[in-house]
Amino acid sequence: MNPFDPYLHLNELVAPLGWPDVFGDDHPVEIEIGIGKGSLLRRMAARSPDRNFLGIERALRYLRIAAQRIARDHQTNLRLVRTDAIYFIEKFVPGASVAAFHIYFSDPWPKKRHAKRRLFQASTVRLLEAKTAPGGRILIRTDVDWYYAQIMELFEHETRLAVVEKGTLAVDALPPEMQTNFETKYRAVGKTIFVLNLQNPQ
């Protein structure tokens, strides 16, 4: 078996991407923003071989770990890219083409002077809506109550996406293998997890 390289190299990409060119088939594409070491992404890809998954991560040391494990297991329905998520989605992701965005435990940047660094801004939620396919979803989880409230308000005022699920996520709502490493740690110490799942009805 030939070595499998899951990396997408920005200097080799033509914008906007054609998903069949990236993955070699026309299966639905799901994107996780901020994959860490890729544990959840790899499990999702293993559970859904009829779907393709793209992970975006800026931390090189984590991305290398994810890439090594993906190559080891030859998970050909997975790709990775190291870049700023908003830049990549805006420039390379075709409009109305993503079956699901997974955004779990995004850094809330709690200090006021750092607010502009938060992933969720008015422009971001409008961009995510524009890139979500008809019937596609945006799946969000966080452990920060005030950030959750802000995210809810942004999607309510800036998009026409339908809310499918919101509020506190029940302890038994997700099997352990569908939780991020952060979520497993947070639940172990009794933290409340908030969920917001939205769907593009168009």
For residue 32, is it within any domain? yes
Say which CATH number the domain at 104 has.
Answer: 3.40.50.150
What are the tens digits of pLDDT across the range 153-162? Answer: 999 999 999 9
> What separation in angstroms does the CA of 51 have from each of 65, 69, 185?
22, 19, 28
Which residues does residue 100 pair with via DSSP β-bridges, in sequence order? 30, 137
Task: Name the H helices within 107-169.
Answer: 122-131, 145-158
For residue 190, is it within any domain? yes
Answer yes or no: 107 catalytic: yes
> Structural domain of residue 103, as residue ranges?
10-199
* Residue closest to 94 by CA, chosen among 50, 55, 127: 127
Contact 19, 26 (CB under 8 A): yes
What are the tens digits of pLDDT across the range 126-172? Answer: 999 999 999 999 999 999 999 999 999 999 999 999 999 999 988 78
For residue 30, is it within any domain? yes
- The model's confidence at residue 6, banded by pLDDT at 50, 70 and 90, is very high
For residue 165, is it within any domain? yes
- Number of separate domains in the chain: 1
Mean pLDDT of the chain: 94
5, 25, 84, 107: the active-site residue: 107
